[in-house]
């Protein structure tokens, strides 16, 4: 499989994820409580920086443009598979979350604590899937800018995740601590 096909599949995987997110946006519940705008802006800036590092053309020179793994078809195909699997897991989680989803840290009208499907595997399966997809893309790219971008995205999602955890503890003071003990945040059985 050539680079063209590998990166075409990766692009289509990301486009599919974005399209499903846009369509599902129409089916979200009304927001009751939300994070402050400044906190949201900071999160978005960190995530955008990570995205630019991973996929932008600006970081191909210097040490960020150097390969961190051997460049071969096996590595790129593995990265492509990770991207597709991560995207599918994130989509499954997004569809399972349904109307409770929001791009910002919020509590929705009639908010429910979802603990089934991918939420029985990790507490933040959308982030788990997105991180796997970004890791796959970084692996396929094989350059330091992709790996650094992945780390920046992880930091951005960890910031958002900590705010979500606090809000869920406030919203579901009895059920969430039990759920939190049973199910790991991002990596099943580990973290």
CATH code, domain with 123: 1.20.120.1630
Query: Under 8 Å CB-to-CB from 146, ≥6 apart: which residues?
Result: 53, 54, 137, 138, 139
Query: Cβ distance 59 to 130 under 8 Å?
Result: no
Q: Identify which has the larger pLDDT, 38 or 46.
A: 46
Host domain of residue 31 = 3-182
Does residue 49 fall inside a structural domain?
yes
Structural domains of the chain, count: 1
106/125 Cα distance (integer angstroms): 17
Residue 125 located in a structural domain? yes
Look up the pTM and report it.
0.93
Nearest residue to 14 (alpha-carbon basis) of 121, 105, 124, 136: 136
- The pLDDT > 70 percentage for the chain reads 99
Task: Report the range of poorest mean pLDDT among 48-57, 85-94, 131-140.
Answer: 48-57
User: 38 has which bridge partners?
Assistant: none
pLDDT for 110 = 93
Would residue 58 count as lying in a domain?
A: yes
- Looking at the domain assignment, is residue 72 inside a domain? yes
Q: Report whether pLDDT(177) > 70.
A: yes
Residue 70 banded pLDDT, cuts 50, 70, 90:
confident
Question: Considering the domain boundaries, does residue 189 fall inside one?
Answer: no
159 located within any domain:
yes
Q: Is the pLDDT of residue 159 over 80?
A: yes
Percent of the chain at pLDDT exceeding 90: 82
Q: In this predicted structure, what is the pLDDT of residue 35? A: 83
Look at residue 191 and tell me if it is in a domain: no
- What is the band of 55 on the pLDDT scale with cuts at 50, 70, 90? confident
How wide is the angle at C-alpha 123 spanned by C-alphas 191 and 77, nearest 5°?
70
At residue 62, does pLDDT exceed 80?
yes
* pLDDT score recorded for residue 36: 83
How many Å separate Cα 84 from the centre of its chain? Answer: 13
pLDDT, average across residues 62-86? 92
Which of 62, 46, 57 has its CA nearest to residue 141? Answer: 57
If you average pLDDT over residues 124-148, what whole number do you get? 96
Mean pLDDT of 37-50: 90
Mapped onto helix, strand or coil, the DSSP state of residue 138 is helix
| Domain membership flag for residue 188 | no
């Amino acid at each position: 499989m050539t680079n063209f096909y590998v990166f075409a599949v990766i692009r289509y995987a990301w486009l599919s994820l974005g399209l499903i997110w846009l369509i599902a946006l129409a089916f979200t519940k009304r927001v009751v409580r939300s994070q402050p705008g400044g906190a949201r802006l900071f999160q978005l800036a960190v995530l955008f920086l990570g995205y630019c590092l991973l996929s932008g053309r600006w970081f191909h020179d210097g040490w960020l443009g150097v390969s961190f793994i051997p460049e071969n078809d096996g590595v790129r195909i593995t990265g492509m598979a990770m991207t597709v699997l991560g995207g599918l897991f994130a989509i499954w989680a997004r569809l399972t979350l349904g109307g409770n989803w929001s791009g910002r840290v919020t509590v929705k009208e009639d908010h429910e604590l979802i603990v089934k499907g991918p939420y029985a595997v990790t507490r933040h399966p959308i982030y788990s899937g997105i991180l796997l997809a970004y890791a796959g893309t970084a692996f396929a790219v094989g350059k330091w800018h992709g790996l650094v971008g992945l780390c920046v995205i992880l930091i951005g999602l960890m910031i958002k995740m900590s705010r979500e955890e606090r809000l869920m503890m406030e919203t579901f003071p009895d059920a969430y601590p039990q759920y939190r003990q049973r199910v790991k945040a991002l990596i099943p059985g580990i973290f």
